[in-house]
Chains A and B, each alone.
Chain A
């Protein structure tokens, strides 16, 4: 393959990677921003979304497009419910203590993973894409659905941005983020805001999963990679900054795509991890994070 098409494919792969990263990381970033909770189980919310998508598309007797759209609604709602329950039953009782919540979400990670193994089983199962559309370029073919994921990621991120900056719910979340006590004195039900934020974060992970699962497969161990990548993106972008998450996702995604293709995927991972180390040493708050 000559240089031009090679670079084109690298950029396409990188863009898809960036979209996947942004989708999975935005929920993690939001939860940390508002609640100061590092949700280690975020990857399992993602996995849960994918597994639920499999159940919905497998058992609903609809054509692929409708079944997938049903999954896009049902999976996030159920995952949000699990997340809200976690907040009320676990995190609230730990008073959102940073160390305790990390331990608790690690525990949740294993519980969700083992529950999926028990109910769903150890196999990787494909979820049929809502549409089959291949783009045939002169040099190679490319999945049209992957490009749809990029568009969907942009839409989801714009929606999150709109909710956070233009709606009353977003205003309340931001107020709680800035100063919990003052928000409470102004009559904001902080407990409900926290439960809602955690549920929103979980739902975002599930939305990401339903979008991505047709190009991968639903598997009970699939939460591991997104968690790691989300942390890389969120640390580089700055915990709690949605703009930072987006920029970091684009940087990491594109560099991963291009370095993977021209050199090796392992080198791409090494560089991403090295970048995290450098950011932690020289700019611990991340590229766009506020100083703690």
Chain B
């Protein structure tokens, strides 16, 4: 049997711990939190790999949102901290990161991943570990019913809603015969399927669907597949080679005749519109989830958000004009963190035992009015499909800036529920 010292005399370790804790407490400026253990949020971050440009800005946005939340008193009166863990934009590592954040770091929940293949690879592990997993991925896989009760997308709209709400505008203003170029994986397939369906429904025709592997580095060879009678070229591309893609598109059409071009800003996220070789984009249109260039009618919330994250009126970092943000997507991190706060406070979240109640609290959400928590605009959450709906913006490149020319209504983007997660067990 081992001997134990029982008595009033504290052990040396306990004395040291107490002294250390006292020092730490004395050092804190905000004594409010001195008693409460922090809420620990895990962030699955694409710091490296093909999503690195997004990762850089998602981390900055998360830090800015964290500061706003903590300055306003934290969550349930407790301070909040975020543990960032890199998943290399790799589905296999994504699942490992979910495990690490949950088991090793003891995070209360996990949020933040964007790339659809990583989300699809990681979500099953989150369900096994019974940890809420709030994704910012745009894919239809959440609302489509592919994932699970623990996975939710309350901070960004999905591709199906985006493309089906914009298709009528594209058909009415740009042309009826559409050729599509998209990345050949889950996210691109959502574009292919739902935009094609919306075009058919609107009386247009998709005359070519050109799939490009997301790791491709040279694109000219795909471009001749665009038919001559194309009226609208629809492009969406991801990964480190997006700039090359757009440049080669410019080289290909050059000064010759070209169709109208409608792109997803994904093809140019984190890329300066003033880069050499992009002049041909003048007059073309883009989808934006959030307008990169500050618009004349920007709300006070949006302006405050822009300043908090450190983005200038052109969408670049205030400290480096060449460091262009992923502005159209990163608001999702900000809004998701605010939804986490709202959900935890509605459910009276105390610790890991309340994870299920947190999910139920988020499922109960519906209207999300435009506010500092929802800087991109008003939203409507569907608790059954775990998917949020909101406005989409179409911008035109004018004088090297993206100027908003159309805003879709939330109603335009709604579609029948494909799943009811609330009937699934936890």
Contact = CB atoms under 8 A, between A and B. Distances in A.
A158 B368 CA distance: 67
Contacts of A225: 217
A215 B240 CA distance: 13
Nearest to B56: A123
B228 interface: yes
Given A134-B254, A136-B254, A217-B243, A265 B221 contact: yes
Interface in A87-139: 117, 121-124, 126, 128-129, 132, 134, 136, 138-139
Contacts of B423: none
B82 interface: no
A124 B213 contact: no
A225 B55 CA distance: 24
B425 interface: no
A139 B49 CA distance: 37
A141 B241 contact: no
Contacts of B218: 13, 17, 215-216
B49 to A, nearest CB: 7
Contacts of A129: 276
Given A6-B224, A9-B224, A216-B244, A140 B52 contact: no
B256 A122 contact: no
Interface residues of A, number: 35
A260 B221 contact: yes
Interface in B219-270: 220-224, 228, 240-241, 243-244, 248, 251-256, 270
B240 A124 contact: yes
B53 interface: yes
Nearest to A220: B48
Contacts of B220: 9, 13, 142
Contact of B277 (A122, A132, A142, A261): A132
Contacts of A281: none
A42 interface: no
B47 interface: yes
B221 to A, nearest CB: 4
A134 B252 CA distance: 9
Given A140-B224, A261-B224, A265-B222, A122 B243 contact: no
B256 A141 contact: yes
Interface of B: 47-49, 52-53, 55-56, 213, 216-218, 220-224, 228, 240-241, 243-244, 248, 251-256, 270, 275-277
Interface of A: 1, 6, 9-10, 13, 17, 117, 121-124, 126, 128-129, 132, 134, 136, 138-143, 215-217, 219, 221-222, 225, 257, 260-261, 265-266
